[in-house]
Amino acid sequence: MSESESGLAWQGVSSDALCWLELGDEVLVYHSGSGDTHLLDTLSASVLRLVCDRPLTLARLTALLADRPGIPRDELDGSELAALMKRFRRLGLVDVVKPC
Amino acid sequence: MLTSDLSIGQVTALLAEGRLALRTGPFLFRIRSSIPAISRGLTRLYARHTVEVDPPFSDFHVSLERSGGVRYLFRPQVRFLLDEWTPFKPLPLTQAFAMLEWGMNWCIANHAHHYLVLHAALVAKGDRALLLPGAPGSGKSTLCAALVQRGWRLFSDELALFDPATAEVVAVPRAVGLKNRSIEVIRHFAPAARIGPVARDTAKGSVAHMAVPEGQEEGGAPARVRWIVFPAFTEGAEEQIEPVTPARTMLELIEHAFNYSVLGERGFNLLGRVVQEAEGFRCTYGELEQVVERMEALAAK
């Protein structure tokens, strides 16, 4: 069963481990844990910021994003969000946890 | 004291005794060598650089020695030492001076972690600097040599040093390394350029070094990077320049950094500041004169 189907939540690394830099519609984030720097678009950056605040299921994440200005609803596709979280997980930026 | 204040005999004797130190930007290199090509190279290409005899402190103690054994007679080689350590395999003796240049670059890139060090050429107009990051073969050293011959101030053709406290770049004016066709290109572009002997069949092909133009040996005041141009030399290509976003510019700069991982968050914040203060471009070129004019136009804007 995949994380998206099991109702598990996604938790980002500690905010202290990330350093952000917004440059127009591109965002750079430095992860002190890996020493890597990642280039994100604004949607990906919003997602990462949200899951670094607290663990979120994909459903809850989608709802929170929908409330945010500047994020078109057609970009909030569940399967794309799930794929994004898996990419973040491979990069060591998020992990799967049981929802609170 | 300048190198030219000493006779070649004195330079040779002081180098053999390991008592001569060459100042280049913020670094003092104490050099020991009995190889004639080293004293000849220093007197020819570093004539107007500051040297010190028996300084109480040097940043790096380097030696160039002929390798021993049977090879000494049949295929003489040279080895480079930092203190007592040999970081590289020996090279043919004919490449001794090039090895000194490469070794000094290696010392700075691997040890000067109080700076963020990028693999890039760097020149300036007054206090506004043009950064030319590029992989070997991108044409950065050739372009750097050409710009310097047109009056730009030489910071380095290989290493850009950023002070994390100020985000300024500091100059390390050293002889500019030219490879293969670039040697003739620069001879033709600037007939007055002082270019040392050509070392052939090195790992990089034929290599020669162009002396720092007179008056620029001390490096001068730090500067701020205003333009970041990723050069890409392609034989016969039409000159083309296109903007690169600050975020992508920064990612590429990270790729060209020697010690970004050592500086960590400080390096991230520093480069963030740099890309926000500068304009980024990618420039393909096939004709040196054209791209030099383009860089002049960029600086004149």
Of B251, B254, B265, the CB nearest to A19: B265
Nearest-angstrom CA–CA distance, B29 and B22:
5
How many CA atoms lie within 13 Å of B47's alpha carbon, on the beta-carbon side?
A: 15
Closest CA of chain A from B269, distance in Å? 8
Decide: B240 and B283 in contact? Cβ < 8 Å: yes
CA distance A19 to chain B (A): 7
> In chain A, which residues have their Cβ closer than 8 Å to the Cβ of B248?
26, 39
Which candidate from B247, B264, B272 shows the least CB-CB separation from A32? B264
- Average pLDDT in the B148-157 region? 96
The span from the CA of A65 to the CA of B180, in Å, is 56
CATH of the domain at A22: 3.90.930
Chain A closest-CA separation from residue B247 CA (Å): 6
Q: Tell me if residue B221 falls in helix, strand or coil.
A: coil
For residue A38, report the phi and psi dihedrals to the nearest 5 degrees: -120, 145
Tokens 């004919």 belong to B94
CA distance A69 to chain B (A): 23
- Domain tally for chain A? 1
pLDDT recorded at residue A74: 67
Closest CA to B83 of B112, B67, B107, B109: B107
Cβ(B51)–Cβ(B8) under 8 Å?
A: no
- Tens of pLDDT, residue by residue over A17-75, are 999 999 999 999 999 999 999 999 999 999 999 999 999 999 999 889 888 777 766 66
Parallel, antiparallel, or unpaired: how do β-strands B60-66 and B27-33 relate? parallel
What is the C-alpha separation between B150 and B186, in angstroms, rounded? 12
Which residues does chain B have within 8 Å of residue A41's beta carbon, measured at their own beta carbons?
none
- Give the SS3 label for residue B114: coil
> A52 lies in which domain range?
3-97
pLDDT score of B252: 97
Q: From A52, A51, A65, select the one nearest A16 (Cα to Cα).
A: A52
Least CB-CB distance to A24: which of B245, B251, B254?
B245
Instruction: Report which secondary-structure segment, H or E, holds B145.
Output: helix B140-149
Count of CB atoms within 10 A of residue B177's CB? 22
Nearest to A28 among B250, B264, B265 (CB): B250
What are B261-286's pLDDT values in tens digits?
Answer: 999 999 999 999 999 999 999 999 99
pLDDT tens, B26-80? 999 999 999 999 999 999 999 999 999 999 999 999 999 998 766 666 788 999 9
Chain centroid to CA A9: 11
Across the interface, whether the CB atoms of B246 and A23 are under 8 A apart is answered yes
B107: left (phi over 0), alpha (psi -120 to 50) or beta: alpha
- Chain A residues whose C-beta is within 8 A of a chain B C-beta are 19, 21, 23-24, 26-28, 30, 32, 35, 37, 39
Is the CB of B247 less than 8 angstroms away from the CB of A35?
Answer: no
Of A61-75, B56-70, B177-191, B196-210, which gets the smallest average pLDDT? A61-75
> Are B247 and A27 a contacting pair at CB < 8 A?
yes
Q: Quickly tell me which residue has 């080895």 as its tokens.
A: B79
pLDDT for residue A73: 66
CB contact under 8 Å between B251 and A37, yes or no, is yes
Residue A6 banded pLDDT, cuts 50, 70, 90: low
For chain B, which domains are there? 3-111 (no CATH), 116-300 (3.40.50)
Contact A30 B247 (CB under 8 A): no
- pLDDT, position A1: 40
Mean pLDDT along residues A71-85: 79
ipTM: 0.88
**Contact list, B246 vs chain A (CB under 8 Å):** 23-24, 26
Residues of B in contact with A19 (CB under 8 A): 265, 268-269
> Mean pLDDT lowest for which of B60-64, B95-99, B114-118?
B95-99
Q: How confident is the model at residue A77 (pLDDT cuts 50, 70, 90)?
A: confident
